[in-house]
Amino acid sequence: MNTFIAAPGFDASRFKGTTLILPAVSIGNVPQLTTDLFLSTLKLDRVGCIEDENVIAVVGPADRPHQASSPSSTATATATAATESATVGLSLAVEVFQTKDGKWTLVQQRSPTVPHRSHFYADNLVQFIRESEFDQVVLLASADGARKIDAQLRSSTPIRYISSPLLSKTVIDTLTGLGLDPLERVATTEDERKEAMIRRREHRMTQNEPTGASAAVLAERVEDMALNAEQEEQQAILEKIPRIPNGGIARRLHSLCQEQGIAILTVVLFAMEGDNAPDAVFLANVTNAILKIHIPTQEQLAQGEGDWKFPKSWDSLYGNTYHQDMYQ
C-alpha cells in the first residue's frame, strides 16, 4: 500500500525521473544521521510524509541547520532562532523532501518500525517507489563492524555496495573509479536460518486471518503447503542479495526492488554503536562522491560553507557535555 501523503500544493508526479535517497534504520543509525547532513546542507523542501502503521508514530519540532554563534553574531543568531522556532513546524516519523531543482528526493525516517512489522513497511516502500517512477534508488545502510570477514578486515575502506542489474553504467563506473568493492557473500549460519524462518512465519501469521475452528483439516494442510512454497520462493529471492548484519530492512528492500525491475544501489558502511557522527560524515562524503549531490560554489568555499552543516538536533545527540572538574 502506498502510504505517501503529499504536502499542500505538491504534485506527486514530480517524483518521476528523480533519484530517491533513503536510509535503512540499522546499527548506529548512521544512514539516518547521513540523511540529516543532506537535509541540513541542501536545505530541502518537505513535500510530504509517509504515514505507515508499521512505523512507530513520533512528532517533534522540525530540525534546522545549526547556527554557529560568535561574539559578533550572538544577538542576530538569537533573534533568528526565535523567529525560526515560531515558524519551523513539526517533524514526523517518516518525511519526504525534494531539492528545489527536482533532481533529488530524500526520505528521512525518525523512528523505528513496529516489532515484527518491518517487512510490511518494506513492502509499502517498494509500492511507493514503483508508483512514483523514480529514475533510481540509493539506499543507505550500515552493517555490524564486529561481524566483518577476513577480506573486509584487510580492506582499506569500511564501505561496500550492492548494485542491481538495471543500475546505470555511469554509476557503476563511478563506483569502480572510487575503488569501492561489492559486498561479499557470507554463508548463512544455522541459527540465522532458523531466525529467518521464524520471521517468515510471523509474517504469514500477521498477514492472514487465523483459520476458523470449523475449517476442514485437508484445507488447512493445502494452505500450509502453499504458504511454505511461497516462503521458500521469497527466501530464494532474498538469497540473491548478500547479507547485511544488523542492516535492518536494507536487504529485503534491495531484493524487492531488484526483483521488480527497479534500479537500486545500496551503500553499506561497517560501523559500531557509539558516537556515529564521524561515520555519518564519512558515509555522506562517499555518497556525495558517487552522486555529486552537494557541489559547493567557489563563493561558498571562500565563505567556509562548503562543508556539511550539522542540524541543531545534533547538539543533544549524545547528551550534555560534562564539567572537567568532576574528574579532578
Query: Looking at the domain that runs over 4-68+85-186+244-318, which CATH code has it been given?
Result: 3.40.50.10900
CB 244 within 8 A of CB 251: yes
* Region for residue 269 given its phi and psi (left: phi exceeds 0; alpha: psi -120 to 50; beta: otherwise): beta
**Domain map of the chain by residue range?**
4-68+85-186+244-318, 189-238
How far apart, in whole angstroms, are the C-alpha atoms of residue 279 and residue 298? Answer: 27
* Three-class SS state of 251: helix
CB 116 within 8 A of CB 206: yes
* Cα-based distances in Å from 252 to 48, 141, 200, 204: 24, 12, 12, 16
Q: Which three cell numbers stand for residue 278?
A: 564521524
Q: What is the secondary structure of 241-305 as a DSSP string? A: S---TT-TTHHHHHHHHHHTT--EEEEEEEE-SS--HHHHHHHHHHHHHHH------HHHHHTT-
CB 47 within 8 A of CB 9: no
CB 140 within 8 A of CB 21: yes
How far apart, in whole angstroms, are the C-alpha atoms of residue 232 and residue 256? Answer: 15
Nearest of 271, 280, 286 to residue 143 by alpha carbon: 271
The per-residue pLDDT string of the chain (328 residues; one tens digit each, 9 = 90 and over) reads: 778 999 999 999 999 999 999 999 999 999 999 999 999 998 888 999 999 999 999 998 888 765 544 334 444 444 444 334 434 588 999 999 999 888 999 999 999 999 989 989 999 999 999 999 999 999 999 999 999 999 999 998 999 999 999 999 999 999 999 999 999 988 776 776 676 666 666 666 665 545 444 445 555 555 555 555 555 666 666 778 899 999 999 999 999 999 999 999 999 999 999 999 999 999 999 999 999 999 887 777 777 677 899 988 888 777 666 677 777 6
CB 238 within 8 A of CB 257: no
How far apart, in whole angstroms, are the C-alpha atoms of residue 287 and residue 41? Answer: 14
Strand ranges (E), 3-74? 4-6, 19-23, 45-50, 59-61
